[in-house]
Structure 1
Amino acid sequence: MAVIPKEPLDWLSLLHLQMDEVFDYIARTGGGERWGECEYLPAVDIFETLDEFAVEFELPGIEQSDLSLKLCCNMLILEGVKRDDTRDGVSYRCLERRFGRFCRTVEIPPTVDLGAVKACFRQGVLVVTFPRLSDRGKIIREIPIEQGDDNGRD
């Protein structure tokens, strides 16, 4: 069941997630292969509680040293590589696993503390959590408009 956003910024986040799902679907169904894209694409779960916002990346068979996690403005960026571990000299009857470089981005809502982000990699799952801001009044603030003088104009 879809969650209907209540805040205007949450609508933008929802649109971003839906667009990611469309492109992920195209890549998974082979549509991306027409453009030479045959990369690994990790599954992502995004959820929130009253206390935190969390992102979970499913990364089976990937070493922690092959991952890079960055925060740029309000975007969480996970880059990495799933190394090809197929066996030489073997004739595969079925090979559904994908390998290669990947990059996933997730927009982080403005209601979280970006400075207190934590990441934990355990059993092939990377969990990134952001605690909620205690004072949500910091998200939107009123900017006073001063009266300018006309002396500086020509």
Structure 2
Amino acid sequence: MAVIPKEPLDWMTLLQLKVDEVFDLLARSDSGERLGECDFVPLVDIFETPDSFTIEVELPGFEGSEISLKLCCNMLIVEGTKRDDTREGVGYICLERHFGRFCRAIEVPPTVDLAGVRARYRQGVLTVVFPRLSDKGQIIREIPIEQGDV
């Protein structure tokens, strides 16, 4: 359960810890490449309904096995590699498609059920749906304080 800071300096410390966790995860990714070495960033649509929080990532020309989804803290990390399928010996007049490694990190709100997340890749769009928590009391939890020595 996340701690909710009250002081501005505590917020900055928490932010730094979360950013460090995300970059550590990306540094240990299967490809061994770092976030700054991505060749392109896919386009994303994010929307919510009363029942869910949905992220759609535009990834045309990919196989589902070429895409990786990870959850780190409250960040959804989408990454993968699109192989270059340009033709050898051809003089391209226009080549606007992207090839190579991509990555995208998207913050997920605390009001979603991380355990209930579902993902589907169809017609070039990766759709990730997080259901809303039915019990909002799971977001903030009171901790009883005992009297005396701990």
**TM-score for both structures, normalised by structure 2:** 0.71
Query: Structure 2 counterpart of 1:60, which letter?
Result: P
Which residues of structure 1 form unaligned runs of 5+? 1-11, 13-35
The alignment's C-alpha RMSD in Å is 2.0
- Once the two structures are superposed, residues 64-83 of structure 1 have per-residue CA deviations (whole angstroms, 9 ceiling, x without a partner) of 11111112222111110111
Task: Say how many residue pairs are matched.
Answer: 116
| Matched-pair contact (CA < 8 Å) for 2:119–2:128 | yes
- CA distance, structure 2, for counterparts of residue 51 and residue 44 of structure 1: 20
For the residue of structure 1 that corresponds to 2:137, the secondary structure is helix
Amino acid aligned to 1:146: E
1:87-102 → structure 2 map (5 Å cutoff): 87-102=87-102
* Conserved 8 A contact 1:40-1:82: no
The 5 A counterparts of 1:1-154 are 39-149=39-149
- The structure 1 segments of at least 4 consecutive aligned residues displaced by more than 6 Å after TM superposition are none
TM-score of the pair, normalised by structure 1: 0.69
Report if aligned partners of 1:83, 1:100 keep a CA contact under 8 Å in 2.
Answer: yes
Partner secondary structure for residue 144 of structure 2:
coil
Ranges in structure 2 where 5+ consecutive residues have no aligned partner: 1-10, 12-35
Q: State the partner residue of 1:28.
A: none
In structure 2, relative to structure 1, the CA distance for the partners of 1:120 and 1:38 (3 Å cut) is closer
Mapped contact 2:38–2:103 kept (Cα < 8 A): no
Greater Rg by CA: 1
